[in-house]
Structure 1
């Protein structure tokens, strides 16, 4: 099932916020809200399954993924942003599913605007005790800012790794152990990258639900039906006893596994009638277009002016944010940034890359392409393996690369003979953080560089 990605400008009052969402399937609209500190990427597999029944629309909650943050961290602000998102899409009524913090935001949105929802299914609902709030304190959501030498990356890796070991994650003792512990580096890496995308704004969304009071509708409220379920090992399963009397049509259900939670949620969602949605509006200056050519069949992220006729490409190992495209267009190359990767191994033949780039140019209506000069040096040394390992060493390796390449050319020749002039502002931690994430996401950098060399021959 095809997954598409979109950007939309959401206006609320005098402010406009650009938000990103994923879409899959057909039929009635199903809004999906992820947990913190994730993004809509969390739901990709589930969307392909549930897309048989619904038009699944999973938005990046403001401040996470590619959605701009809200200035207020109150859970009501996130609920209002959700309704604003539906308004921008032109969706008057939909079904909705949310997990953990995403579910809590949906409950608040439903309580404020019950007419906008046909039914709701959520994974867990938190009702914190005063003792738990005191335990969380400032420890649960410490500031997350890039540090000059990448010190923040070691903390990040262990924080994400151990959140499946203990709850809360920092309470490393036998009383707070979880039964769902793992050390899968691929899983940890995905979540760590999403945390890198969110940056310090993760505290707003996460904090909104940690500080939220019990915000369930009154027991006599006229609201759409809702199922709250949680699987064994989910720390919010124990909160069912704290929910109190629920409205008519609301129920809780304890299940054994995540798969069973998803199954009972879908069964519940299918019981209510939900309108089918019309065409969806998108932002004018940013989007994601489907491309199929030369072994590539995926989505390409673009940004800029589609009327310019000029497409500017970034260098291998970077993304479109490194290009000063002005009034022209820029894209994330295949296997870079927010664009999809090649289906198999990225090709090193320039003809394959050119075929895709020409298809992109046709899709975006551009007639001219400019290429960034690739960095000097040996391709094998310029792009070492950055596959995630059990200890998160790849995060530090990538940080050291993006720092060193401002000081030496090539970056791996750190000596006087290869020193280059640089502006100290270029190695500011916030600037390095953007380059760092771009390098981590540049899965096809080595192949593209090799192909460029073939083009120049």
Structure 2
């Protein structure tokens, strides 16, 4: 089942969301520091029963942060309700995991009339002495560093959160029951952290400093389902809950798959009113079938000239307000199915299809880098130790002073632009390169047109 992606502007803030499925609408709120991409698998399963709508929380994924220096639980909860209003919900059935569930619980407690039903995975009930473990020490500042030091921290911080709770206390008493070191699982989590930057702390801080917002037993509130699975450290918290309101249930499942199935079954008992979600008209994602490509193309801007980024880059590196896209296998666009084509005809077919949909009359291209495509764009497949992240950073840093960027010598030195080594600039270029699964193929394809 296909997931579509959209933007929705609320005031001055743009929100990105994913949508999938048929049936009554269901709002999904992700945990920190993830994005709505966390729910890709769930949406494809639950899409048989619901129209799943999953926004990126403020400051996460592709959503703008809140214009608040230190947002609270209430601020994030209010942002959920603002999105629901703008999207078109008239009654909210929702699921949230960890901090996503914390924000939803706060919203329901203060505005129960807005909800039809709520399911939460891993809702916490901390003892006072445990709160020290999830305070500011849990929220290390995160800023790009000149030599990529932040990448090593990001990889290992996300890796070891499956080993210890909290992640920064590697002690025997803190061991988790289901540790892993799977780069396929870890890489998208780290990419979400890199995309959020230091804003990741706002969502965490707001959630971890929240009070216990479960309404008292006598409260007049819609039904809720509070559950978890065995390996989740929040599972033990269920036994700490005080008496719950009428119609509220708790459960423990053996694993994430059983947890997902139980929550879907429970939510199906409380369908929300249907509606057609709203989205922006001046940016978003086009469905394109051309040249063997069948997927979503990310686009932005206005004009009759389509500006295309170079291999391993993305539209946000071009700048300006003109019409731009992320080419397949780059930026936020979908990858090519199978091996990316090194034949320019396939790429041209996609570009032509985009031009037709967006009424573009002409196309411009960023210049190609000089050098061997195999060395310009080495294999950056995620590995166990996160070396792919550091290698990409080092390659980009060298590229600002040498051409080709893999050859460092007196003869290959190039002028160093002002700001070229700015860590924030390198971080944007790094995200684009790491996201690029078709950079080498695009470079070869463009070389063939010379």
TM-score range, shorter chain: over 0.9
Which residue number corresponds to residue 267 of structure 1? 265
Q: Output the CA distance in 2 between the equivalents of 1:90 and 1:273.
A: 15
Correspondences of 1:90-109 after superposition (within 5 Å): 90-109=88-107
Q: Output the CA distance in 2 between the equivalents of 1:402 and 1:93.
A: 48
Q: 1:3-43 CA distances to partner (integer Å, 9 max, x unpaired)?
A: 100011012xxxx2101000001221100011111110011
Q: Does residue 390 of the first structure (1) align with residue 390 of the second (2)?
A: no
Deviation, 1:324, is: 3.0
Work out whether residues 128 and 210 of structure 1, in 8 Å CA contact, stay in contact via their aligned partners in 2. no
Q: Output the CA distance in 1 between the equivalents of 2:13 and 2:74.
A: 16
Which residue number corresponds to residue 60 of structure 1? 56
Work out whether residues 375 and 410 of structure 1, in 8 Å CA contact, stay in contact via their aligned partners in 2. yes
Q: Output the CA distance in 2 between the equivalents of 1:160 and 1:384.
A: 25
Correspondences of 1:105-254 after superposition (within 5 Å): 105-254=103-252
Q: Does residue 445 of the first structure (1) align with residue 439 of the second (2)?
A: yes
Q: Output the CA distance in 1 between the equivalents of 2:431 and 2:353.
A: 27
Deviation, 1:369, is: 1.1
Work out whether residues 135 and 208 of structure 2, in 8 Å CA contact, stay in contact via their aligned partners in 1. no
Q: 1:186-219 CA distances to partner (integer Å, 9 max, x unpaired)?
A: 1111111110001000000011111111111222
Q: Does residue 300 of the first structure (1) align with residue 334 of the second (2)?
A: no
Correspondences of 1:2-13 after superposition (within 5 Å): 2-11=2-11
SS at match of 2:7: strand
Scaled by the length of structure 2, the TM-score of the pair is: 0.98
Displacement over 6 Å in runs of 4+: none
Deviation, 1:285, is: 3.0
Correspondences of 1:282-301 after superposition (within 5 Å): 282-301=279-298
Indicate which of 389, 405, 411 corresponds to 1:411: 405
Work out whether residues 231 and 256 of structure 1, in 8 Å CA contact, stay in contact via their aligned partners in 2. yes
Scaled by the length of structure 1, the TM-score of the pair is: 0.96
Which residue number corresponds to residue 312 of structure 1? 307
Q: Output the CA distance in 2 between the equivalents of 1:364 and 1:3.
A: 21
Work out whether residues 346 and 444 of structure 1, in 8 Å CA contact, stay in contact via their aligned partners in 2. yes
Q: Which runs of 5+ in 2 are unaligned?
A: none
Q: 1:70-125 CA distances to partner (integer Å, 9 max, x unpaired)?
A: 12420100000000001111211121011111111111111122222211111011
Q: Which runs of 5+ in 1 are unaligned?
A: none
Deviation, 1:325, is: 4.0
RMSD (Å) for aligned C-alpha atoms: 1.1
Work out whether residues 23 and 50 of structure 2, in 8 Å CA contact, stay in contact via their aligned partners in 1. yes
Deviation, 1:284, is: 3.4
Count of residues in correspondence between the two structures: 448
Deviation, 1:277, is: 1.3
Work out whether residues 312 and 325 of structure 1, in 8 Å CA contact, stay in contact via their aligned partners in 2. no
Work out whether residues 28 and 94 of structure 1, in 8 Å CA contact, stay in contact via their aligned partners in 2. no
Work out whether residues 5 and 23 of structure 1, in 8 Å CA contact, stay in contact via their aligned partners in 2. yes
SS at match of 1:302: strand
Indicate which of 393, 401, 425 corresponds to 1:431: 425
Work out whether residues 26 and 55 of structure 1, in 8 Å CA contact, stay in contact via their aligned partners in 2. yes
Q: Output the CA distance in 1 between the equivalents of 2:290 and 2:64.
A: 32
Q: Output the CA distance in 1 between the equivalents of 2:23 and 2:266.
A: 16
Deviation, 1:260, is: 1.1
SS at match of 2:448: helix
